[in-house]
C-alpha cells in the first residue's frame, strides 16, 4: 500500500475508521517524491536511529524503514498509533502511543543516542516540540523537520528584519538551522492554508553558560519589540541603549548579556517571566 497515493490513503483512513483531525494538525504528506527527498537529504541509512514525532498513517515511517533505519515513532492519535505495527520490518520499528510533549525522553531515548529526528510536525505545537528537542540537544545529532513556512522564516531570520524574534535567538543557542527544502501546500491531504519547509537543525552545546538566564533576557526585550533596550533592559551603553531587539545579531546579544551580568550580577530567569 502506498500511503503517498491519495486514494490509498483515504482507503486506509476508512479501514481504521479515521478522518484527518484539525485539532492534531493532521495534514498528511501525499507526495512520494518529497518523502524520498527528506530521507535522502537526512542521509538515512542502516546505522541511523531515527525519532519520528507524529507518524500518523505512516508514509514517512515506511520510507525511513525502507532506508533500513531503526525508527522510534511517537504518535498521540490512538487509531494511528495502534495501526503502526503493520509496518514492522525486522523489528526495527518501535511505536509509542503518547503525547511527545509529555513523553519521558531520557528514560526511553538516552540509550539510543545520538539519534536523528525526522518528522512532519504537528503545526499547532511545533515551537514547544523544538524547545523540547533543544532541551535534550545532547541526544540528537540533527533534526529534519517539516514546519510552516512562516516559522521557517523566523528560524532563519536576519537582524533588522521583522521575522527576527526571541525564537530565532533561542534556536541559535542550541543548533544551526538551515533551510533544506521548500514544500508546496499541495503536497498534503487535506491541503493546509500555508506552504511548508523542511528545516535542518544541527545541534550543538549551548553557546552560553547559562542559557535559561540569557534567553530570559532576550525574551524580555522582545516582549516590547518597539521599545529601545535602554527602557526594556535598562542598559545605558551605546550602541545598544538606543537599539530595538530585532536589530541585534547573536553576537550583539552575547555582549549585552555580559554587560548586564557585569553590572547587576547573574540574571535570575524568573525575574523576566
Ligand atoms: N507523519 C505523517 C505524514 O507526514 O503524513 C503525519 C504528519 S501530521 C502533520 C502530524 C502528526 O502528529 C499527526 O499524525 C498527529 O496525530 C500527530 N500529533 C499531533 N500532536 C501530537 C503530539 N502531541 N504527540 C505526538 N504526535 C502528535
The verdict on the CB of residue 246 being under 6 Å from ligand 1 is: no
Q: Tell me the average confidence (pLDDT) per consecutive run of 10 residues in the chain, 273 residues long.
A: 89 96 97 98 98 98 98 98 97 98 96 97 98 97 98 97 97 98 97 97 96 95 95 93 96 95 68 49
Domain-embedded: residue 183: yes
pLDDT for the residue numbered 2 = 84
Q: How far is CA 3 from CA 35, 56, 73, 139, 214, in A?
A: 11, 10, 17, 30, 44
195 and 94 within one domain: yes
The verdict on the CB of residue 122 being under 6 Å from ligand 1 is: yes
CB 169 within 8 A of CB 246: no
The verdict on the CB of residue 25 being under 6 Å from ligand 1 is: yes
Using the atom order of ligand 1, give the atom closest to the CA of residue 55. Answer: 1
232 and 123 within one domain: no
DSSP code for 142: E
Q: Is 154 helix (H, G, I), strand (E, B) or coil?
A: helix
pLDDT for the residue numbered 266 = 59
Q: Distance, CA 121 to ligand 1 centroid (Å)?
A: 6
Residue ending a domain, among 160, 183, 203, is 203
23 and 68 within one domain: yes
What CATH number corresponds to the domain at position 22? 3.40.50.150
235 and 129 within one domain: no
Residue minimizing CA distance to atom 14 of ligand 1: 56
Q: Distance, CA 157 to ligand 1 centroid (Å)?
A: 26
Using the atom order of ligand 1, give the atom closest to the CA of residue 21. Answer: 16
pLDDT for the residue numbered 200 = 98
225 and 185 within one domain: no
Residue ending a domain, among 203, 228, 258, is 203
175 and 232 within one domain: no
CB 232 within 8 A of CB 260: no
d(CA 58, CA 81): 9
Structural domains counted in the chain:
2
Q: Distance, CA 68 to ligand 1 centroid (Å)?
A: 22
pLDDT for the residue numbered 244 = 97
Q: How many CA atoms lie within 13 A of 260 on its CB side?
A: 23
Q: Distance, CA 94 to ligand 1 centroid (Å)?
A: 16
pLDDT for the residue numbered 263 = 73
**163 is in which domain, residue-wise?**
6-203
Q: How far is CA 111 from CA 1, 96, 181, 220, in A?
A: 33, 16, 30, 37
The verdict on the CB of residue 213 being under 6 Å from ligand 1 is: no
The verdict on the CB of residue 32 being under 6 Å from ligand 1 is: no
104 and 63 within one domain: yes
183 and 124 within one domain: yes
Domain-embedded: residue 1: no
245 and 181 within one domain: no
The verdict on the CB of residue 24 being under 6 Å from ligand 1 is: yes
Residue minimizing CA distance to atom 21 of ligand 1: 76
What CATH number corresponds to the domain at position 259? 1.10.8
95 and 183 within one domain: yes
253 and 183 within one domain: no
Amino acid at each position: 500500500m502506498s500511503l503517498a497515493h491519495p486514494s490509498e490513503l483515504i482507503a486506509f483512513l476508512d479501514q481504521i475508521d479515521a478522518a484527518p483531525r484539525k485539532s492534531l494538525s493532521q495534514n498528511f504528506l501525499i507526495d512520494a517524491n518529497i518523502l524520498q527527498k527528506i530521507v535522502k537529504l537526512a542521509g538515512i541509512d542502516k546505522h541511523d536511529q531515527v525519532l519520528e514525532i507524529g507518524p500518523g498513517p505512516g508514509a514517512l515511517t515506511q520510507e525511513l524503514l525502507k532506508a533500513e533505519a531503526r525508527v522510534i515513532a511517537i504518535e498521540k492519535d490512538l487509531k494511528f498509533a495502534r495501526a503502526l505495527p503493520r509496518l514492522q520490518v525486522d523489528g526495527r520499528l518501535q511505536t509509542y502511543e503518547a503525547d511527545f510533549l509529555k513523553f519521558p525522553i531520557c528514560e526511553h531515548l538516552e540509550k539510543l543516542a545520538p539519534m536523528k529526528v525526522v518528522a512532519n510536525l504537528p503545526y499547532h505545537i511545533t515551537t514547544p516540540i523544538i524547545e523540547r528537542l533543544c532541551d535534550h540537544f545532547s541526544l540528537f545529532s540533527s533534526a529534519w523537520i517539516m514546519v510552516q513556512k512562516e516559522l521557517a522564516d523566523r528560524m532563519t531570520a536576519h537582524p533588522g528584519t521583522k521575522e527576527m524574534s526571541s525564537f530565532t535567538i533561542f534556536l541559535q543557542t542550541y543548533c544551526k538551522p538551515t533551510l533544506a527544502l521548500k514544500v508546496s501546500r499541495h503536497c498534503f491531504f487535506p491541503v493546509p492554508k500555508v506552504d511548508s519547509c523542511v528545516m535542518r537543525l544541527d545541534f550543538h552545546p549551548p553557546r552560553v553558560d547559562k542559557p535559561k538566564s540569557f534567553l530570559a533576557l532576550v525574551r524580555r526585550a522582545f516582549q516590547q519589540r518597539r521599545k529601545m533596550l535602554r527602557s526594556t533592559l535598562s542598559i545605558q551603553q551605546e550602541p545598544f541603549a538606543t537599539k530595538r531587539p530585532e536589530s541585534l545579531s547573536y553576537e550583539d546579544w552575547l555582549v549585552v548579556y555580559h554587560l548586564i551580568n557585569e553590572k547587576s550580577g547573574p540574571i535570575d530567569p524568573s525575574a523576566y517571566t
